[in-house]
Structures are given as structure tokens and as C-alpha cells.
Structure 1
Amino acid sequence: MHSVGGFSGGTVATRGRRAGGSKVDQAYLALKRAIVSGKLAPETPIDKNEWCAVFEVSRLSITTAINRLAFEGLVVVEPQRGSYVARIHLEDVRQWMLMRRALEVEVVGNCAAEMSDDAIAALGQNLAYQKTAITSGDLEGFHELDTRFHRQMTESPGLARVGEVLDPIRTHLERVRRTLLPEPGRPQGTLREHEAIFRAIAARKPDQAKAEMANHLDRVSRELQSFVARHPGFFEE
């Protein structure tokens, strides 16, 4: 069994095969998932020989996958140093967070005014699952439910186009969210903020819902700045 970046290469390969596609695609998706999830931290070298062994492909295939990630800004390739995970660009993150805040604050106000009772009930069910995930220590499950909670707000036909704009922004921010999630107390704080957002939507109070969403996203920005100060090697301006 090979170990890639501190986790099981066999597991990565199995997930890649389930995803289908060519072996180059499988390696690309597995590497991308490991980077975005934080399993491969910024500055981590990417050992081509290990990945070749995991996916039973040539170095050319792994190089192709790495080049795709380099094009997306997730990997840096240097002639004398080799390939390694790129640091997170703070200025990009600030702009993505600005766009996300502007859109999601307006979205939640719309939800408080127009969301169907069934959709509101589904949001409440999601919150119940979030509580269970926290109680059981399932950070991965909580992260998925957190993402789903926000996405549920743009699933009505009237907000479908907004959702199409928000989805890639959320993807860009995924590395940051995954990096911050294990911070002590963060899941519990996130849940409390989600509950406040939900109560405002359920009470049909658009202004309050917008204020709660702004508070929620602003806290993420504050925590990011605090994290950057403690871990400067993860980021670059």
C-alpha cells in the first residue's frame, strides 16, 4: 500500500476508479480532491513516482494531470524544484469572498420572502443532520451538509441562475473552508449561525435573514485573517 501525502494511496486510487474516466482523469481528480480537501497542504511536494505506482500509469500521464492542476493554479511546477502544492492566493480569496457575500446576502433575503414551506422544512432537516454530524465528530459529513445548506437556498427556479454563478465561487473557496473547518469551536459556531439564518427565513423576515447571513460570512473572513497570521506559509498575496 502506498502512502501519498500522508494518506492511503490505495484509497485514493479506489475513489478515482469509481469516478470513471481515463487513468489520467482519475489521477487528476484524486490529486485535485486531495489539494482542495487540505490533505495535501500548501508547499507539499508531489512525488510522481508514488502517483505512478498508485494509478499504474506512466510518468507522462501523471505529468499531464499535474499540468492540468498547474493551469488551475493548484500546483506549481518549477524546473529545479519539481511539482508542489500551490499556496493559497489571499487577494483571490478576498475577491471571491466579497462576491459570495454580496450574492448570498441577497439570496437569503429572497428566501425569507419567497421560499416555499417545503423548502424551508428541508433546510430545517439539514440543520438536524448538522447537529448529528457534530455530535458524532463527523467533520467531513458536517462540511458536506454545510455546503448543501447554502446550496439549498438557490435551488428554486427563480434563483437557478444565481446558483450557477455561486457554485464556481464556492468551489474556489473550498480550500479555505476546509482549512478553517478543523479550528476549535468552528463547527459549533457555524451551526449556531446557520440556525439564526434558518429562524429568520422561517419567520419570513428578509432584513433579519440578510443580517444573519452577513454576520455568518463576515465571521469566516475574520477567522481567515486570524488563521493567516498563525500560518503565513499557507498563503501568498
Structure 2
Amino acid sequence: MHSVGGFGGGTTAARRAGGSKVDQAYLALKRAIVSGALAPDAPIDKNEWCAIFEVSRLSITTAINRLAFEGLVVVEPQRGSYVAKIHLEDVRQWMLMRRALEIEVVGVCAADMPDDAIAALGQNVAYQMAAITSGDLQGFHELDTRFHRQMTEGLRLGRVGEVLDPIRTHLERVRRTLLPEPGRPEGTFREHEAIFRAIAAHQPDQAKNEMANHLDRVSRELQSFVVKHPGFFED
């Protein structure tokens, strides 16, 4: 049995979010998978989740089926439900799309981002440093995600954000997996700081180069991680 004791934050947040118990179970399971609390190929014990949310097996099965439709869970007859492995080809394509869009966005930021939005981006970078100093990995992750989203929001590029947000969600499991690697938060912070400085200096070409360097490093580290943890992935 894979204990759910470490998922308290996710279940509490799901309950606060409201909705039906099926929705709450779905959100809690999704958070556990995306955050890495439930690792790839880990079994999902329906009885445990039924007990946590005080719902029937049918309700948990419904939640699991929604996650299976999203590609986060694999349901096999006679074997049960398991967390899906990460498909490398999907990750490569998502990274390609994200790279193309975010490099263009950061160039526009350096040319046209309003001063108040640049100041907010700088505040985010300062908070990232504080999170690293205090060892707050979860806080740093949230600031990292916010840093990238602030660029489209600061330019009011709502349609671009609508395209990027699902891509980032798909890549969330990969990012969460890489973040605990030694030196990764510090490296990410330095790259974010370089991106911010180029934006603040209104240097579009430099900003685009720094963003390309940032995203390319993620791709390289993913390949290195795959070699060390092949069981998490499949082609």
C-alpha cells in the first residue's frame, strides 16, 4: 500500500476548493501526481482514497478515469490503476512549443513591458532569492511558475497565455522532478535574474538569448535525469 500520509496539503487544498467529492478527489490525486508525491508507476489504492474523502469506490473510480483521460493515470484490468510514466516524445514536443513562444514573448517584454510590470517581475526575483535562502523549495517553485506567467500578463497577452498555460501544466511533472536536483534552484534563479536584467535594460535580443539559455538548460538536465532514472519515463 502506498501511503497517502504525505499528501495532506493536497487533500486540504482540494477540500477548500469546493466542488463535489469526486472533484476534490480528482484535484488531490492530480496534485499528488504532478508534484511527484505519487511517482511514475506508483499504484493508486482506491480504498485509501475512499477513506480520505469518505466516498464510494465508484466516485474514486470516476476521478481516476478523468486522470486516465488526461494521460496521468493508466488503468489496467486485473492489475489496477497506476501513475502513468512520463512520455519523452510528448515532453520534447511541449518543450519545443514552450521554447518558441516564450522566447518571442520575452523579446516583446524587453521592448514594451510597462514599468510597473517590470517592477513586479523584479520583486518576484527578489522573493525567489529569499525562498532559496530559507530552503523553501515549494515557495520557490510557485515563484518560478509565476515569474513566467507574469510576462504574458504584464503585456496583456491573454491569448498567448491560454496556449502556454496547458503546455506548462503538462511539463509540471518534469519540472517538479528536476527541481530537487542539487544546484537546480540556484541555477534557475541565476537564469531568471539574467532574464529580468535584460528586460529591465530593454534589450530584446539579450532577453531572448537568456530565455533560450534557460529553457535549453532544462532540456539538457532532463536528458541527464532520464539516464539516471529510466523507470520514470517511456518513449
Same fold, TM exceeding 0.5? yes
Q: Structure 1 regions of 5+ residues with no counterpart?
A: none
Secondary structure at 1:155 match in 2: helix
Question: What does the per-residue CA deviation read over 1:187-222, in whole Å, with 9 as the maximum and x for residues that have no partner?
Answer: 000000001001111111100000000000000000
Matched letter for residue 95 of structure 1:
Q
Task: Tell me if structure 1 keeps the 8 A contact 2:109–2:155.
Answer: no
Matched letter for residue 44 of structure 1:
A
Runs of 4+ in 1 over 3 A off after TM superposition: 2-6
Question: What does the per-residue CA deviation read over 1:11-67, in whole Å, with 9 as the maximum and x for residues that have no partner?
Answer: 543322111011111000000000001100001000001111111001111111001
Equivalent runs, 1:145-160 vs 2, <5 Å:
145-156=143-154, 158-160=156-158
| Deviation (angstroms), 1:6 | 5.2
Q: Measure, in 1, the Cα distance between the counterparts of 2:43 and 2:92.
A: 26
Task: Tell me if structure 2 keeps the 8 A contact 1:134–1:187.
Answer: yes
The one of 195, 198, 201 equivalent to 1:197 is: 195
Task: Tell me if structure 2 keeps the 8 A contact 1:181–1:187.
Answer: yes
1:35 alignment counterpart: 33
| Deviation (angstroms), 1:164 | 1.2
1:4 alignment counterpart: 3
Instruction: Provide the aligned length of Structure 1 versus Structure 2.
Output: 235
Matched letter for residue 205 of structure 2:
D
1:227 alignment counterpart: 225
Counterparts in 2 of 1:116 and 1:229: CA distance versus 1, 3 Å: same
Q: Structure 2 regions of 5+ residues with no counterpart?
A: none
Counterparts in 2 of 1:126 and 1:199: CA distance versus 1, 3 Å: same
Task: Tell me if structure 2 keeps the 8 A contact 1:6–1:39.
Answer: no
The one of 15, 18, 21 equivalent to 1:17 is: 15
> What TM-score results when the alignment is normalised by the length of structure 1?
0.96
Q: Measure, in 2, the Cα distance between the counterparts of 1:33 and 1:122.
A: 27
Matched letter for residue 24 of structure 1:
V
Q: Measure, in 1, the Cα distance between the counterparts of 2:47 and 2:83.
A: 16
Task: Tell me if structure 1 keeps the 8 A contact 2:2–2:43.
Answer: no
The one of 91, 113, 128 equivalent to 1:93 is: 91
2:183 alignment counterpart: 185
Task: Tell me if structure 1 keeps the 8 A contact 2:73–2:84.
Answer: yes
- 1:104 aligns to 2:98 (yes or no): no
Q: Measure, in 2, the Cα distance between the counterparts of 1:80 and 1:147.
A: 39
Counterparts in 2 of 1:5 and 1:41: CA distance versus 1, 3 Å: farther
Task: Tell me if structure 2 keeps the 8 A contact 1:113–1:205.
Answer: yes
Counterparts in 2 of 1:16 and 1:212: CA distance versus 1, 3 Å: same
The one of 210, 214, 217 equivalent to 2:215 is: 217
| Deviation (angstroms), 1:80 | 1.8
Task: Tell me if structure 2 keeps the 8 A contact 1:5–1:44.
Answer: no
Question: What does the per-residue CA deviation read over 1:60-93, in whole Å, with 9 as the maximum and x for residues that have no partner?
Answer: 1111100110010000000121001000010000
Task: Tell me if structure 1 keeps the 8 A contact 2:113–2:155.
Answer: no
2:173 alignment counterpart: 175
